[in-house]
Chain A
Amino acid sequence: MSFDDLAARALDTASKRGAEYADLRFEVVRAERIETRNGIVATLSDATSRGYGMRALVGGAWGFAASSDLTPAGIDATAARAVEIAKAGAAIARHRFGAAPPRAYVDTFATPIVRDPAEIPLGDRVALLLSAEKALHVSPKISVGRAWIDLWRTDKTFYSTLGSRIEQSIAQTGSGLEALAVGEGEVQSRTFPGDIGLYKSGGWEIIEEAQLAQNAQRIGEEAQSLLTAEQCPSGTRDIILGGSQVSLQIHESCGHPAELDRVMGWEANFSGVSFLEIAQLDKLRYGSDIVTIRIDNTLPQGMATVGYDDEGTKSGTSDIIRNGMLVGYEMSNDTARTIGRESNACVRAQSWEFVPMIRMCNLNLLPGNVPFDGLFEDVKDGIYMESNRSWSIDDHRLNFQFGCEIAWEVKNGKRGKLLKNPTYAGMTPKFWNSCDAIADEKSWVAWGTPNCGKGEPMQTGRTAQCASPARFRNVEVGVGYGG
């Protein structure tokens, strides 16, 4: 029996058992990882997972069941379980909030790939990492060198009782390096590119773009230099953040608080609520005039780029922050309806096992008009920080404290001496309103985040926050170390 037939059987079973609407995602997920550590291959693995997740709607309440059992009996049992769960919820429901999506699609989507990773022999992949990792070891003080490649491929088909059939093939790729330096009572690390690596949708071209081997020696030298660098001072300074750190700042202080399910209290017990309340929509000045943050789930190479989300909604673009003002949210069908809008296709599930939920997707700070070097001009006493090391923000997404791996003093427009343990802290709207310069598109990178946690049961999401470096005035720095 083909999966089209099994899906039809599942949807039919759910309908007969009382579902007003049902949908089903069938997925085959393949994950390959190589990681080298101090000259050996610490991880060389290839995992395949196949299964399906099914949503059923009864009386405005959703039930979700997932299984890897592809037998007709397994399909029947899973469909029946989804309906049973929905009915248990409906029996105690105080309100009726669930509804079927507004429209159906029959379509296909595939991530554009320049070079299929399958063309690269495994031996060549390993050799690339061993070579790059070896170059990190610039001295015996480099206690650990690591290099890694992740290759992910998801083939999935979405079916619904409205008649949707959406077949998608999504390829995501990433790689990175890390050097850990150990000195007298001191441990410092440097990671490249960014703080996680470079993760995008696409094929082997993403690995080539990362240029691991070309940068490994520098990263090792920087890690070693940090062991004897001066401590980042405490006080108030102008700061310039590297692009990957701006990406993290967007992720934590805009991406998460703009999830409409979080705004509505759906995450309250775990990852918290949001200061971006619905009453503030179109009224709150979130940032300065130059700050525009846009969802674009069609962006080439965006980590979260797909044709359709996991509720079967077509990808598009929409703004969260426009010229500093709060104008939108990341939305699902049910949450969007509560504010009189339509979903902007921000629903994802980690894999077939998990229920689809609102996720940050490609959320991009539009580039400014200042060359990167121009960010340093007009800074009399500041700090330039790169590459995240620590991140923490309160459960309303206001009070944050972030740390970076490396920093440099900026004096009278020039980058100066190296600083270790840089940290900065603030309150989200005040911070984004202090943004007075954003570097131009030449330094704009589609930084992917492959490990975003949200939900219960916890799901790992793959997001992107495309950004270029930016400047912020009068920020508290050196928090956590006491000067």
Chain B
Amino acid sequence: MDSKQREALAERVLALSTADQTEVTIGTESADLTRFTHEEIHQNVARADTGVSVRAILGLRTGTAATNMLDDESLQATVERAIAIAQLAPEDPELAPLPSGGPTKAPAGAYVKATADASPQLRADMADAIFKVAEADKFWCAGYARTQSAGFTIANSNGARASFDGTDSGINVKMNAPDSTGYGQAYSPDATTLNARSVAETAAGKAKNSAKPQGVEPGEWTVIMEPAAFGEFFTYLAQHFSAQAVDEGSSFLSDGLDKQYFGEHLTVRDDYADPLAPSMPFDFEGQPKKRLTLIEAGVAKTFVTDSYWAKKLNRENTGHALPAPNAYGPQAIDLVVAPGTKSVEQLISETKRGLLISRFWYIRTVDQKKAIVTGMTRDGTFLIENGKVAGGVRNMRFNQSIIAALGKCEFSNAPQRTGDYWFSVVVPAAKIEGFTFSSGTQF
């Protein structure tokens, strides 16, 4: 279903509603993924769906209902169900009117037809190229190649109208050697730009170079995190920039804006138009997204809102609503960390003793307000001695406040898109002093 068809469907559903205010969203997705292990495809899937969601508002009462059945009878029933739910809902005295929207423009490169049209053979060819790299090194590999397209249209009774189409693709490879592993990844809206062999060679190189890993003592280390590792921290930091978290007291920003929370090297934006990760220029209420500087030279400047939290806190609506209803409040989902001036090689050469980290695993919050997280290194962790990579080390567990870590950091000059699924982030590699490891493993 293309944007014109979605827009026509949205208008048709909107016309069915008798509520005081109505919001209709139409989401389409076509997602294909080829997953492999031991040089064999074990999962090769495709799915396609179109969903319709209706938010009905009667005075200060709200109800939502959703369906993927697009016949007239089902659509009418969904609208009526949303209204019936709203009639039974208690009033919310702080309910905001639906936004009236505004002009938006999709960022360049967000939709690539070749990705939307990609065949199973394209993904099989990518997998085959990766298999050949593994076989040449007598490793085994696991990973995926995926292509997908998605469209989203919103229309509400207050005049908001917006549509967006985007594509995405990705390759993810773990190479497995007898006593070491290595990781590579690449993501792009344009599947034809992905180089499967190159990603596989990166992963194989890490597996080779981390062979016969040695154990090192836990404690405080200077670390250099490659983008795939560093980016994961922002999955956990992003929620602190939600107006809801700030208001309820669980965000570090609850202690106030315009304070120096981080080192002066850190500048973080929320920018849907970054060329490495172009995404939807409006939020899930149809409000145009603001391109915000959240952290500037270590100073917290602002947080994100949606219509509800903008009204409640008497702030501007920054256009960061998630699909209604949700328990998370507005979220910054297009984070971009400003790069530094040095190459990764220079950061390594300036490090007397430290660790180079390719990837983390299973990061979880230990203390929400202090942003203390724990997690493990994986798939390529290296010792740095006297400015050179000196071999692989066994994986370790860290316990670290992200806020404290970002107080003593500098960044490389080459940002990459990392992250996957619903959250992606654009980050450089980061060098951090005094990063705390609490225990190790035997692998």
Contact = CB atoms under 8 A, between A and B. Distances in A.
Interface of A: 35, 37, 40-51, 53, 61-69, 81-82, 84-89, 91-95, 97, 122-123, 126, 130, 143-144, 146, 180, 182, 185-187, 261, 264-270, 272, 353-355, 357, 389-396, 398-399, 401, 403, 421, 423, 425, 455-458, 479-481
A456 B65 contact: no
A189 to B, nearest CB: 8
Most B C-beta atoms less than 10 A away, residue of A40, A45, A61, A393: A45
B32 to A, nearest CB: 8
B46 A81 contact: yes
Contacts of A84: 120
Given A67-B48, A187-B249, A357 B67 contact: no
Interface stretch (B225-233, B281-289, B345-353, B366-374): B366-374
Interface string B15-30: 0000000000000000
A436 B10 CA distance: 61
Contacts of A180: 248-250
Name which of A266, A354, A392 has the most chain B CB atoms within 10 A of its CB.
A392
Contact of A395 (B88, B172, B362): B362
B378 interface: yes
B48 A48 contact: no
A85 B45 contact: yes
Interface of B: 31-35, 37-51, 53, 62-69, 78, 81-82, 85-86, 88-90, 92-94, 119-121, 123-124, 127-128, 131, 140, 142-144, 146, 172-174, 176, 183, 248-250, 254, 325-327, 361-369, 372, 374-376, 378, 395, 397, 399, 421, 438-443
B49 A185 contact: no
A362 to B, nearest CB: 24
A265 B142 contact: yes
Given A48-B67, A49-B51, A64 B45 contact: yes
Contacts of B88: 44, 122-123, 126
Residue among A46, A86, A396 with the highest chain B CB neighbour number at 10 A: A46
Nearest to B128: A92
Contacts of A398: 441-442
Nearest to B443: A396
Contact of A46 (B43, B46, B81, B127): B81
Contact of B44 (A63, A390, A423): A63
A198 B326 CA distance: 20
A395 B183 CA distance: 14
Contacts of A458: 421
Contacts of A423: 366
B438 A479 contact: yes
A89 B124 contact: yes
B323 to A, nearest CB: 10
A92 B37 contact: no
The prevalent SS among residues of B at the interface is strand
Contacts of B439: 399, 425, 479
B362 A265 contact: no
A277 to B, nearest CB: 12
Contacts of B127: 92
B363 to A, nearest CB: 7
A437 to B, nearest CB: 26
Contacts of A123: 88
A122 B63 CA distance: 12
A368 to B, nearest CB: 29
Given A85-B46, A97-B40, A268-B174, 18 more contacts: A40-B93, A45-B85, A64-B44, A67-B47, A88-B120, A88-B124, A89-B44, A89-B120, A143-B249, A266-B42, A266-B142, A269-B172, A269-B183, A394-B361, A394-B378, A403-B366, A479-B439, A480-B374
27 contacts: A40-B90, A41-B62, A41-B89, A46-B65, A46-B66, A49-B49, A50-B69, A62-B43, A62-B44, A65-B46, A66-B45, A88-B119, A93-B41, A180-B249, A265-B140, A266-B37, A353-B47, A355-B45, A390-B365, A392-B376, A396-B441, A399-B440, A403-B366, A455-B43, A456-B33, A479-B439, A480-B367
B86 to A, nearest CB: 8
B344 to A, nearest CB: 23
A48 B131 CA distance: 41
A342 B144 CA distance: 28
Instruction: Please list the 6 inter-chain residue pairs (A to B) with the smallest Cβ-Cβ separation, ordered nearest first.
Output: A182-B249, A268-B142, A88-B120, A47-B66, A43-B325, A89-B41
Given A49-B68, A67-B49, A399-B397, A42 B249 contact: no
A355 B174 CA distance: 22
A10 to B, nearest CB: 15
Contact of A42 (B32, B119, B142, B327): B327
Nearest to A55: B45
A94 B39 CA distance: 7
Contacts of B144: 269, 456
A266 B62 CA distance: 44
Q: Which of A61, A268, A391 has the most CB of B within 10 A?
A: A268
A449 to B, nearest CB: 15
B169 to A, nearest CB: 13
B176 A86 contact: no
A185 B251 CA distance: 11
A267 B174 CA distance: 10
